[in-house]
Amino acid sequence: MNPAILIIDDEVKLRGLLARILALEGYVVKEATTLKTAKEMLAKEPFAVLICDVKLPDGNGVEFTSWLKKHFPATEIIVLTAFGTIQDGIQAMKNGAFDYITKGEDNNKIIPLLQRAIEKQQLQIKVKELQDKISARYSFSSILGNSQRIKFAIAAAQRVAITETTVLLTGETGTGKEVFAQAIHAESNRKDNSFVAINCSAFSRELLENELFGHKAGAFTGALKDGKGLLEEADKGTLFLDEIGEMAIDLQAKLLRVLETGEFYRLGDNQVRKVNIRLIAATNRDLQKEMEAGRFREDLYYRLSVFQIELPPLRDRTEDIPLLANHFIQVFAARMNKKVTFISDAYLTRLCKMNWKGNIRELKNCIERSVILTDGTELEPSSLPSQPDAVGVDLASMEKAHIQKVLEQCNHNKTETAKLLGIGLTTLYRKMEEYQLH
């Protein structure tokens, strides 16, 4: 449908003329003589652009612009000013108008201007839709799980999200620490500003310092220009420090200073800078033990552990596995255009018995692999990677189990099985004979 335009003007002739011109161009045009009527119409239906006179019986179009932008920020407004009143136009733009034109003078300008205003308005709508999609992706609703332990963690995170408190997320790798950090940010008052994440274990001490604090030109060889650090990138937003237990102790001191005062220096610079960040830290180490061993600063530890949320390992909440597995199947089947939608009971039983050292990340990877290997509609255990309990299993049994698995995967096609195993066809037949595999 063509975008709707509302003309607000009490001069009948001019309003009618403008309405006819716009209607001829294919726009849906509505008219109002007063601001009161305009407001009532706005409450009932959406308009892309308003074209509004300045002097109206019940108010002023320049002031109305501020009201409109406050209540309908996505609607654009073009103000019609009287000849010789440029000030009105300038003020209207300051109040958020898309532009202004002089009444009766600039008739040939109106159509191109209107088109640009509509383009802007539609882009804004698209941006908003995308933003909503992104925040839904990072919101608490994307964190799946019905177990008591995960529900408890979600409830705690939701409570702390709206505060300014530093949060410490603890848990094994792949338990969802980053997902939680993003959800906390997305639900906080800082959601419209940046969420900046960095993994402290991925950098040497020097590089991490530079990444966080930035540098002044000449601070070190290769520092040709001044460089902003992540602290500045995260200003007014959230900084997520993953694996904080890996941070060198002197950097911990600098970090603590930023948390306490908001102040820091770029490397090689003597100008003090200020930022306003909220910190969310994560670790899979026992920070208390690290502190006791002298590897983690006590003051920083106490500062971080004000609000700690522990994320449970997957093996402690196996009741969540079916939900998570089904979710990942949908994701990967859609991505790979596969018709697989079900999990066989045998597959699920195997899933629930696995160790999941890599937690949800491992489960996700595992399902991805199974979806790739499955042609039908149901996931079968044969598509699971073998997780043999190697201790106490002799080599021959492992070889037998592995050959059997690959045979199943290849629907007992011997040539393919031999190829996958990297052995000759005769060797495969010999081994099958030896292990009595058929």
Q: Judged by CB under 6 A, how many residues of this single chain contact ligand ATP?
A: 16
Identity at 418, one-letter amino acid code: A
Are the C-beta atoms of 208 and 196 separated by less than 8 Å?
A: no
- The nearer residue to ligand ATP, 27 or 328, going by C-beta atoms, is 328
The residues in 336-395 that bind ligand ATP, with binding defined as CB under 6 A, are 360-361, 364
Q: Is 9 in the site for ligand ATP (CB under 6 A)?
A: no
Region binding ligand ATP by CB under 6 A among candidate stretches 176-184, 210-218, 252-260, 271-279: 176-184
Estimate to the nearest angstrom the gap between the alpha carbon of 394 and the chain centroid: 47
Q: Is 175 in the site for ligand ATP (CB under 6 A)?
A: yes
C-alpha distances out from residue 351 to 23, 244, 368, 412, Å: 63, 31, 13, 24
Q: Is 179 in the site for ligand ATP (CB under 6 A)?
A: yes
Give the pair of three-digit tokens for residue 397: 């049994």
The residues in 184-203 that bind ligand ATP, with binding defined as CB under 6 A, are none
Residue 164 region, left (φ>0) first, then alpha (ψ -120 to 50), else beta? alpha
- The nearer residue to ligand ATP, 176 or 237, going by C-beta atoms, is 176
Q: Is the dihedral of CA 123, 69, 72, 52 positive or negative?
A: negative
State in angstroms the smallest separation of the CB of 266 from ligand ATP. Answer: 27
DSSP letters spanning 212-263: HH-B-TTSSTT--S-B--HHHHTTTSEEEEETGGGS-HHHHHHHHHHHHHSE
The residues in 207-246 that bind ligand ATP, with binding defined as CB under 6 A, are 242
Write out the E strands in 16-75.
28-32, 49-53, 55-56, 59-60
The residues in 117-156 that bind ligand ATP, with binding defined as CB under 6 A, are 143-145
State in angstroms the smallest separation of the CB of 182 from ligand ATP. Answer: 8
Cα separation, 296 vs 247, whole angstroms: 8
Q: Is 319 in the site for ligand ATP (CB under 6 A)?
A: no
Region binding ligand ATP by CB under 6 A among candidate stretches 88-96, 160-168, 177-185, 391-399: 177-185
Among 284, 370, 382, 417, contact with ligand ATP (rule: CB under 6 A): 284
Among 11, 63, 178, 368, contact with ligand ATP (rule: CB under 6 A): 178
- Rounded to 5 degrees, φ, ψ at 228 are -75, 145
Give the pair of three-digit tokens for residue 170: 């603890």
State in angstroms the smallest separation of the CB of 197 from ligand ATP. Answer: 9
State in angstroms the smallest separation of the CB of 199 from ligand ATP. Answer: 7
Q: Is 317 in the site for ligand ATP (CB under 6 A)?
A: no
**Residues binding ligand ATP (CB under 6 A):** 143-145, 171, 173-179, 242, 284, 360-361, 364
